[in-house]
Amino acid sequence: MRQLTVWAIIPMLMLLASGCTIKGTVKQITDTTSNVTGTTSGRTWFTEEGILKPDFKVVAFVALNEENLRHDMASGQGEYLSSVGNLLNVPADRKAEFYTVVQARYQTFAAMDFTAPEQVVAALRDVSMPLASRQ
């Protein structure tokens, strides 16, 4: 029983000694979240019920999946690029073409600032619009 008590106290002492605080951790989490849930052109991304507005689904997806999306853009395939195609309403029979065009323009996308995901989405929309209109 005594050994169990020591093992329960050691992690608590390590936490206190490290200077970590719950307040500091919560602040870090909320700061990161507020970067994503902040306003864009004076509009919030969420409804009063906390549901992501349809106009911001693709922006939120790009903001939250930057690294994986960059990888898929470079390779011209992958589930993240496919999801962006779905969010942009790229027709199924045009997705391969969408992937090819995005991969061909990868250098342009790679140079973009993903901390401003609206710009990335605008460029992706430019690629997807001609494909969607050919139906």
Could you report the per-residue pLDDT of 81-110, keeping only the tens digit for each? 999 999 999 999 999 999 999 999 999 999
More confident residue, 35 or 102: 102
Asked if pLDDT for residue 24 goes beyond 90, the answer is no
Question: Mean pLDDT, to the nearest integer, of 35-61?
Answer: 74
List strand residue ranges (DSSP E) for 2-134, in order: 39-40, 43-44
Delimit the domains of the chain by residue range: 1-37, 38-133
Percent of the chain with pLDDT over 70: 64
> Does the pLDDT of residue 22 top 60, yes or no?
no
Window from 15-19, 50-54, 117-121 with minimum mean pLDDT: 15-19
Query: Distance between CA atoms of 53 and 39, rounded to whole angstroms?
Result: 12
> What pLDDT is recorded for position 30?
52
* Main-chain dihedrals φ then ψ at residue 78, nearest 5 degrees: 130, 165
Can you give the pLDDT at residue 40?
A: 46
For strands 39-40 and 43-44, give the pairing. antiparallel
130, 45, 88, 44: which is closest to 80 by C-alpha? 88
pLDDT of 8: 58
Mean pLDDT for 44-54 is 83
pTM of the model: 0.63
Question: Mean pLDDT, the chain, as a whole number?
Answer: 78
